[in-house]
Amino acid sequence: MSKKKVKIFNLENVNYIVVDNEAFDWSIEPEYVKKIEFQVRNEPMLKDKYIGNIFQHFTRCFSDFLGRKVSLQEINEAIEKGYING
């Protein structure tokens, strides 16, 4: 497996994870965040569930982007180290 460069890039207030020369952008819609905030206010136990769902979705999307399954820990390490095995 070859190593691919990884860096965080911000353009016009949008964060990207750049892997070699390809940019992965991922965000949460503000309306969804408002909905979550309202539901968590009414039921605080839902907070961990929503956070877990967001991380799972992010990891699935980034795995699709890379073309192989990766973990959230692997993504975090790649960002810290500046490369990921591809």
Q: What is the pLDDT of residues 38-48, one digit of tens each?
A: 888 988 888 89
d(CA 86, CA 48) in angstroms, rounded, equals: 31
| Amino acid 14: pLDDT | 83
Q: Residue 85's beta-bridge partner residues? A: 3
Domain range enclosing 52: 3-85
In the chain, how many domains are there?
1
What pTM does this model have? Answer: 0.83
